[in-house]
């Protein structure tokens, strides 16, 4: 898988606060959910892969070590939702709600 967010991978991501990182991940997850609802599984997969890339950038950010468990669990459950058996019984609504709080916090901090 090639890097989709080249500028962010070169240090732009590490300059963002955690809530902005998570809000951006949420944007990609929302895109994946919308394309999935429209049964365009290729676009959904592409948006999901971009979300995974951003999650991996977030996990690699040394400032987020104390949050690593939550980020890793979110990644695990997202993969299970989109491509697994959905053992955790996630729903599109639960993912929207989870990431919505980060979007609100990121907006508030601007």
Which pLDDT score, from 0 to 100, does residue 108 have? 84
Q: How many domains does the chain have?
A: 1
Quickly list DSSP for 33-53: HHHHHTT-HHHHHHHHHHHHH
Exposure string (b/e) for 25-55, b if CB count within 10 Å is 16 or more? bbbbbbbbbebbeeeeeeebebbbbbbbbbb
Is 53:3 a contact under the CB 8 Å cutoff? yes
Task: Report the chain's mean pLDDT, rounded to a whole number.
Answer: 91
Contacts of residue 26, Cβ cutoff 8 Å, sequence gap at least 6: 98, 99, 100, 102, 103
Residue 11 covered by a domain: no
Residue 5 covered by a domain: no
Which pLDDT score, from 0 to 100, does residue 1 have? 52
Which pLDDT score, from 0 to 100, does residue 3 have? 60
Which residue has better confidence, 81 or 4?
81
Which pLDDT score, from 0 to 100, does residue 10 have? 55
Which pLDDT score, from 0 to 100, does residue 9 have? 55
Residue 88 covered by a domain: yes
pLDDT in tens, 19-72: 999 999 999 999 999 999 999 999 999 999 999 999 999 999 999 999 999 999
Residue 47 covered by a domain: yes
Residue 89 covered by a domain: yes
Residue 54 covered by a domain: yes
Q: Quote the domain boundaries for residue 42.
A: 16-108
pTM (2 d.p.): 0.88
């Amino acid at each position: 898988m090639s890097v989709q967010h080249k500028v962010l991978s070169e240090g732009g991501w590490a300059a963002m606060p955690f809530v902005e990182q998570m809000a951006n991940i949420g944007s990609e997850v929302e895109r994946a959910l919308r394309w999935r609802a429209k049964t365009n599984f290729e676009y959904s997969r592409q948006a999901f892969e971009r979300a995974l890339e951003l999650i991996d950038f977030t996990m690699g950010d040394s400032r987020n070590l104390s949050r690593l468990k939550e980020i890793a669990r979110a990644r695990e459950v997202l993969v299970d939702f989109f491509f697994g058996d959905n053992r955790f019984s996630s729903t599109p609504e639960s993912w929207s709600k989870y990431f919505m709080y980060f979007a609100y916090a990121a907006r508030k901090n601007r």
